[in-house]
A = this chain, B = another copy of it.
Amino acid sequence: MPQIKYKPIGIIHSPFKEPKGTPIQPSGAKGINGTVEIFLEYAQGIKDLEGFSHIILIYHFHLSKKSSLKVKPYLDDEVHGVFAMRGPSRPNPIGISAVRLLRVEGTTLHIQDVDIVDGTPLLDIKPYVPDERSRENRVA
């Protein structure tokens, strides 16, 4: 199976200058403001994005250390499989976050509820589309 190659389309900015102190759960990011700078060559791709109240950011955990398949989470004595966790050190260090889109100014997206380290390379944006499944019960 060949390698898959991607290129950043922008950079995420936030008040979190290092992984330490960055929220590990989305709930810890409530009210935190940040921005996304879209690279000029991709500027046309954000047309109509401001019609959405929330967007999904897909990004590369650029500070991720070498991954292990078994992880012992903070405040937990047992090891868990890496795919049952959301931490940054994983075989393909891809992160996803749903954030609130406050406004778009040129190639800058002003966002809220940000749980991402400053300087993180952005790979993709998708509109957040409410799904009827989100109203069902889920167990974790």
Contacts and interface: CB of A to CB of B under 8 A. Distances in A.
Contacts of A45: 69-70, 81-83, 90-91
A70 B83 contact: no
Q: How many copies does the complex hold?
A: 2
Contacts of A74: none
Interface in A23-74: 25-27, 42-49, 51-56, 58, 60, 69-70
B96 A56 contact: yes
Given A6-B4, A140-B52, A46 B86 contact: no
Interface of A: 1, 3-9, 25-27, 42-49, 51-56, 58, 60, 69-70, 79-86, 90-92, 94, 96, 98, 100, 113, 121, 123-134, 137-140
